[in-house]
Structure 1
Amino acid sequence: MSLPDYSFETAALRAGARIVAGVDEVGRGPLAGPVTAAAVVLDVTCIPEGLDDSKKLAAKRREALAAEIMARCDWAVGHASVEEIDRLNILRASHLAMCRALAGLRRRPCLALVDGNMLPRELDLPGQAVIGGDARCLSIAAASIVAKLLRDRIMVDLAQQHPGYGWEMNAGYPTPAHRQALLDLGITPHHRRSFAPVHNILCKDQTASC
């Protein structure tokens, strides 16, 4: 399988862009925790070797690459909270996190390469949606690695506050063990109440209000 390359960035730079950022999010599917996005501006003279979609990388390799990215590149992270996910919906909350990540960069990009098929409606700079971007575009791959690492760390911290759900292992995704823990232990403040497995439990507990 082919690795992501720098062709999207090269095309943008040749067209006149000076600063090109890749943006990706992680955490759309979990039942708990925030959705997290990262934005990364790579330096073409020192791109870390082996960048790829974070989902394809072993944890130790992901950590090593994230350390290189964070040491060499302009990068920033943004989150959308559980409350924002429930209020806006997960897609809008993911886009909000992306915009927050872009706003946190030291220098404002001329172009944002955004993973997916849709640009955030709040995006206040030129953007290009790249379907499957984390597997095709180096800047987006770098962003996916940083976002994954930092969100996983959040979920490890939350797991210490709320043991029993396995968040240190499942990052809040709906594994069978996590679903069973919801039934056995109940819903925490960090669970997404708009997501069906959580909502259904709430409905059973509060039948009159559903």
Structure 2
Amino acid sequence: MSAFCAGDASAPLLCGLDEAGRGPLAGPVVASAVILPNDFPPAILNDSKRLSVKKRELAEKIIKEKACWGIGIVSHTVIDEINILEASLLAMKKAYEALSIKFNVWAEGAGVSAKTIYAVADGTFCPDIGCECRSEVKADAKYAPVMAASILAKTCRDAIMIEMDKRYPAYGYARHKGYPTAEHRRICREIGPSPIQRLTFRY
């Protein structure tokens, strides 16, 4: 694992970018941007899909306490309007903008003097953000800040879908989080799409 935390004051800080929710048939796509401090404990990090719910929630708490982070959310209606790829990139852009608002205060508190930020986005495309950025497939398994971003994106989106389950209990969102499981497809065929369904996706 490459740490890429806020260490050498002369080196650019690495901002990790990742999203959760490209594949589901319902709900938003959520992205996160994260810069880690030099003293962040790397042992708690991994690709969010490889962590149990309990470990993700513990990591989320520590990331939010120690890191500079931002969340971006793009709704199902916007996904239908601009397509899921563009919506995912927009969510990353929103996440980076949210991080940028916090950055100066966080850097001062964390004793970080470097101001240049360099971003790595998981996947094959980069969002249009205010710093140099490159994309890399499976970056969420290689770089600690991208792992952290994947964790925040997933925990945020899962929480949203659990809340949507309370509003629309017939759809089972707490179980499958809107992903195209056999159960989800069957329910949509039987009772029709929910109010948060992505109508441009195939069922």
Tell me the TM-score normalized by structure 2. 0.87
For 1:104-123, list aligned pairs within 5 A.
104-105=98-99, 106-107=102-103, 110-120=117-127, 122-123=128-129
Alpha-carbon distance in structure 2 between the residues aligned to 1:70 and 1:16: 23
Residue number in structure 2 paired with 1:56? 50
Task: Report if aligned partners of 2:42, 2:144 keep a CA contact under 8 Å in 1.
Answer: no
Number of aligned positions between the proteins: 189
Say what the alpha-carbon RMSD is for the aligned residues: 1.8
Counterpart of 2:82, as a letter, is L
Alpha-carbon distance in structure 2 between the residues aligned to 1:163 and 1:16: 49
Counterpart of 2:154, as a letter, is K
Alpha-carbon distance in structure 1 between the residues aligned to 2:198 and 2:126: 24
SS in 2 for 1:30: coil
Residue number in structure 1 paired with 2:36? 42
For 1:72-87, list aligned pairs within 5 A.
72-87=66-81
Residue number in structure 2 paired with 1:149? 155
Report how far residue 165 of structure 1 moved: 1.2
Task: Report if aligned partners of 2:14, 2:35 keep a CA contact under 8 Å in 1.
Answer: yes
1:110-166 CA-to-partner distances (Å, cap 9, x unmatched) read 21111112212x323210212101101100000000110010000000011001211
Residue number in structure 1 paired with 2:200? 194
1:83-118 CA-to-partner distances (Å, cap 9, x unmatched) read 111111101000000000000011276211111122
Report how far residue 14 of structure 1 moved: 8.4
For 1:1-210, list aligned pairs within 5 A.
4-6=1-3, 9=4, 16-17=11-12, 19-105=13-99, 106-107=102-103, 110-120=117-127, 122-197=128-203
List runs of 5+ in structure 1 lacking aligned partners. 198-210
Task: Report if aligned partners of 1:13, 1:20 keep a CA contact under 8 Å in 2.
Answer: no
Task: Report if aligned partners of 1:48, 1:68 keep a CA contact under 8 Å in 2.
Answer: no
Report how far residue 50 of structure 1 moved: 2.6
Which gives a bigger RCO, structure 1 or 2 (Cα 8 Å, sep 6+)?
2
List runs of 5+ in structure 2 lacking aligned partners. 105-115
Task: Report if aligned partners of 1:32, 1:190 keep a CA contact under 8 Å in 2.
Answer: yes
SS in 2 for 1:194: coil
Which protein is bigger by CA-based radius of gyration?
1
Counterpart of 2:58, as a letter, is A
Residue number in structure 2 paired with 1:204? none
Counterpart of 2:164, as a letter, is L
Alpha-carbon distance in structure 2 between the residues aligned to 1:54 and 1:30: 16
Alpha-carbon distance in structure 2 between the residues aligned to 1:131 and 1:143: 14
Alpha-carbon distance in structure 2 between the residues aligned to 1:140 and 1:129: 11
Tell me the TM-score normalized by structure 1. 0.85
